[in-house]
Amino acid sequence: EDDDEEDELVGLADYGDGPDSSDADPDSGAEEGVLDFSDPFSTEVKPRILLMGLRRSGKSSIQKVVFHKMSPNETLFLESTNKICREDVSNSSFVNFQIWDFPGQIDFFDPTFDYEMIFRGTGALIFVIDSQDDYMEALARLHLTVTRAYKVNTDINFEVFIHKVDGLSDDHKIETQRDIHQRANDDLADAGLEKIHLSFYLTSIYDHSIFEAFSKVVQKLIPQLPTLENLLNIFISNSGIEKAFLFDVVSKIYIATDSTPVDMQTYELCCDMIDVVIDISCIYGLKEDGAGTPYDKESTAIIKLNNTTVLYLKEVTKFLALVCFVREESFERKGLIDYNFHCFRKAIHEVFEVRMKMVKSRKVQNRLQKRKGATPNGTPNVLL
């Protein structure tokens, strides 16, 4: 029972992608190789993120660096993707989605490619453009991809990663972003699709820009984001804290922060702190027989910087950590901060509980509908 409850906290649901899926529903009756997206709630439980773009634009490298902790230099030896690769990312109940990495040579007009089925359950579409290459062909493919996807699903978030900017000067970065932004939006306007919104990010796997960009993408898929931001605002205002992030420890994606602006250097310091805490915990935090986990409810860390700022990390759940920036004079009231953190942590767990109750309820409804032979809108299935 404890294992079942733990799975529910992680956000796993019985909406599988076929009989080979680890979380497949035995009552679903799904055929082998057929993806089951019949339940509209399934994409809310585990939304899908598509990685698309031309060949060698850096899609697979992004996935490996962000979610597999691969060194950026090692990505130079990755082979080109020649088939659709799907991966479940279930690090926490907030960072819980599927990533689909598409080969660059995919043809939307190929009759064997069912793009409607894929786009129908998609939460975000990330299109990667190589900024160091001639991007005219990439812009044409972006326009085709976005227009096709929007016709199927108007709720998709369209994200454009202007990638490999580490090889460009600061002025060239700004000019490239402005040019791509202008051309992409002009193409949509010419097609009468001004209502489609594209978000643009300058990214590189050699710094933290790719993690920050992915953080912004994932946040749009979290329905509890306004609640989390409000909780963080209340926490920092009552604790004398300057800035606070709620991090997913595994991927170093921050799933929420307070309403104050995010500084890139501040974010990088948080990522470095998480790395230090996990590395030291792996050495000194385990038992003599190697049992236990390096990150648990006892995990906490204090790092004092030479500019009178204190970094304070506390465990929220076994997947999430709160990282705060506090002035030394404010950190003298550590007891007050810890008490407010206890209230904040309790509120976060309540958010989990409400979410999981709704998931369980919809899972039961979904199973009943399938057993009765009803479609998601409640009308009976009729064999023709």
Task: Give per-residue pLDDT as tens, 104-140.
Answer: 877 766 777 777 888 888 999 999 999 998 999 999 9
Question: What one-letter code names the amino acid at 353?
Answer: E
Structure tokens at 305: 């910087």
Q: What is the pLDDT of residue 383?
A: 40
Structure tokens at 159: 């994200």
Q: What is the pLDDT of residue 108?
A: 67
Q: What is the pLDDT of residues 339-379, one digit of tens each?
A: 999 999 999 888 878 877 877 787 788 778 777 655 555 54
Q: Is 262 exposed, middle or buried (0-12, 13-18, 19+ CB in 10 A)?
A: middle
Structure tokens at 347: 């509120």
Q: What is the pLDDT of residue 109?
A: 65
| Mean pLDDT, the chain, integer | 80
Residue given tokens 């309540």 in the structure block = 350
| Angle at which helices 209-219 and 59-68 cross, to 10° | 90
Residues 6 or more apart whose Cβ sits within 8 Å of residue 350: none
Q: What is the pLDDT of residue 188?
A: 94
**Domain segments of the chain: what residues?**
48-221, 224-362
Query: Can you list the residues of the chain whose pLDDT is less than 70?
Result: 1-46, 90-95, 108-109, 289-292, 372-384
| Fold of the domain spanning 48-221 | Rossmann fold (3.40.50)
Helix (H, G, I), strand (E, B) or coil at 104: coil
Per CATH, the number for 224-362 is 3.30.450.190
Task: Please give the share of the chain, as a percent, with pLDDT higher than 70.
Answer: 81
Q: How big is the CA angle at 183 (ends 177 and 184), to the nearest 5 degrees?
A: 85
pTM for this predicted structure: 0.77
d(CA 176, CA 334): 46
Residue 312: C-alpha distances to residues 180, 221, 279, 300, 344 (Å)? 40, 27, 17, 8, 15
